[in-house]
Structure 1
Amino acid sequence: MNGLLSVWPQAWTRKQRSSATIALAVAVLVAFLWLLAIPLALVPDPIGPAAQEFAEGARVTVQLTLVSGLVGVVLGVLAALAKLAPFPPLRWVAGLYIWVIRGTPLLVQVLFVFLALPMLIPGIQLSDFNSAAAALAVNVGAYNAEALRAGILAVPKGQTEAARSLGLSPAQTFLHIVFPQSFKIALPPLVNNLVALLKDSSLAYVIGVVELSNVGNRVQAATFQPVPVFIATACIYLFLTTVLTQISGAIEQRLDVEQRS
C-alpha cells in the first residue's frame, strides 16, 4: 500500500514523492504529539480530564522508541559484524547474545535491567526510562543483527572482489560497497522491528515509566471504566504506528530497496 506516496503528482520523481511523504509524515507526527491534548480534552469522561496525561504518555512512548531504536541499530550492526568475523570468540559472543535475547521474554529483560543489573554491577544506577530504553535497545539489537547479517550475506561476492581488485582496503570495501547494499536489503525487516518496538515499549510500564500504556492503566484503575480508556489508548497507538509505517515506507522508496528505476 503506497499510502501518502500516492497523493503526490505523478510527474514527480520517486525521490521527490518520497521526500515529500517523509516531510509531511514527520510534520503530522510532531503536530499530533504536541496538540493531542486539545481533541482529547473534548472527549467525555474519563478521557477528557486525563487528556494532558495521555498526550504526555504518547510523547514518552515515541521518545522511548526513537532512543532505543537508534541504539538498537548500532548494536545490530556490531553484532552482525561480530557474528561474521573470522575470529571465533567474537562469533561465539555474538551468537550467545542473539540466542539469549531472542530466546527470553522482553518483559524479563526489562525487569532484569531495572532490578538485577544494579545488584550485579553496583556502580550502575539507571532511571526507569533509561532502564527501559537499554532493555528495548538490547532486545531489538538482536533482531536487527540477524536482519543485517542476512543483508550482508546477500551482497554478491563479486562486489567485494571487484572492489578489492580496484585497490580498496577491506574496511573501505565494507563501508563503501558492502554495507550500503546490505542496509538496503535489510531495511524492510529493520522497519518491521522498529514498528514492533513502538508497541513493545508498552512493557516499560512495569518499571514505572509513565508512557502511554501506564497512563491508560492509571486512568482505568481510578475510574473503573476500562472500555473507553483502552479504546483511546489503542487508537493513539494505531495512529503512531500508521505514521511510522508511512515514514519507513517512504524511506524504503527513496533508497530504492527493490532496485526499481
Structure 2
Amino acid sequence: MKVEERLRRIISLHGAAHLTLIDPEKQSPEEAGKMAWEADAAGTDGIMVGGSTRAGGKRLDDTVISIKENTDLPVILFPANETGISAHADAIFFMSMLNSRDTYYITGAQRLGAPVVKKLGLEPISMAYLVVEPGGAVGRVGKAELIPRDDKELAVAYALAAQFFGMRLVYLEAGSGADRPVPVEMIRAVRKATDVILIVGGGIKTPEAAAERVRAGADIIVTGTLVEQSVDRHARIKEIVTAIKAARTKKAKG
C-alpha cells in the first residue's frame, strides 16, 4: 500500500492521523532510531524526516536507515531543499512554499529535486506548505510572507489555490517550537473551504492543543520539538496520540 493511500485510510477510519517529525541534524542516527521506536510504541502513524537546511547526504541516509531498522512505520521525507532526498525513505512530501517571496522555495528546489525523486522511485506526495505567524526559522529561511494569525481569508485563498493547482495536501505551519500553534479559527475556515488533506504543525505542545485542532478540521497533526525536548518521549507522544484518537471519534461522528 502506498504511503498516501495508507494515510487516507487512517483518516477515513479514524478521523485524523499523527506524524512524528525527526530532524537528522539534532541527534545521532542511532538516537533517531530510538526516537522512532518510542514514537511507534506510543501510537504515531508515521515518521517524517527533515526540517533542517543541512539535513542531507550521509547523515540523512544513516538517519532514515536507523529509523527503518527500528520501526515498520512509513518514513516520509520532509525536505528543506533539493538535498533532503534519501533513497532509503518510503515517500517524500513534494511541497511548494506558496507564500514565499523567493521562487526557489516555490518551484526552484522542486525543479532540481524532481529528477532525483523519479530516479530513486520515491513516492511523491504533492503538498502546499503555508507558513503562518510566528513562522520561526522556516519562515526566515524560506523568506515567507507570513500569513497573519487573524487573516483566515488569506489562508483559505492560498489553500484553495493549492487545491486548484492539483495539490492533494495543505500544511499549515506555525514554525518549529512556535509559542503559538495555528489558530483553530483558521483551521476551521480552511477545512470548510477545501477538500484537501489538511496537516497542522508547529507549537503543538499539549494534548489539548492537538485535540482542539483535530476537532477544528485538521486531518494530520505533526509534532517534532515535543519529541526532541521530552525526557520521557514515549509518555509525551502517547498523551498527544491518545488525545487525537479521542478527538478523531468526535470529528468522524460530526
Aligning the two structures, in what range does the TM-score lie when normalised by the shorter sequence? under 0.3
Q: More relative contact order in 1 or in 2 (CA 8 Å, sep 6+)?
A: 1
Q: So what's the TM-score if we normalise by structure 1?
A: 0.23
Q: TM-score, normalised by structure 2?
A: 0.23
From the two aligned structures, give the one with the greater helix fraction: 1
Larger radius of gyration: 1
More strand, by proportion: 2
